[in-house]
Amino acid sequence: MNTRNGNLVNLVTLALLMALIFLMGQTPLGLIPLGFCNVTLLVIPVAVGTLFMGLKYGVLLGLTFGATSFVSALLRRHADGGVAADGDCDDLPAAFDGAGGDSLRPQGNGA
């Protein structure tokens, strides 16, 4: 196979793997929600593409993986109905409120 056909095969394979990463990232096929976090299977096409096509294509697949994960984190909803990046502080765990409720507030000087 000459260089031109080899580059075309790599380009088509790259496009198919990028589409697979995007599809897996936007459906439960690649991001399995566990309530408090997502288990990802998106690294499989990235690893396969890097092994078979080289580091240059692997970096592009990794960037696709990162962008897809970022977009899905912004668009997914929490179990309580809120959006992940809604800016509310009510998504923080109760541990950040302090053990007694006032433990994180500055205490007076005793006067």
Confidence of residue 111 (pLDDT cuts 50, 70, 90): low
How many angstroms separate the CA atoms of 110 and 88, rounded?
Answer: 34
Question: What tens digit of pLDDT does each residue of 13-69 get?
Answer: 999 999 999 999 888 888 787 877 778 888 999 999 999 999 999 999 999 999 998
The answer to which of 61-65, 88-92, 107-111 has the lowest mean pLDDT is 88-92
70 CB-contact burial (10 Å; exposed 0-12 / middle 13-18 / buried 19+): exposed
Task: Tokens for 1, please give them.
Answer: 């196979």
Q: Is the pTM of this model over 0.85?
A: no
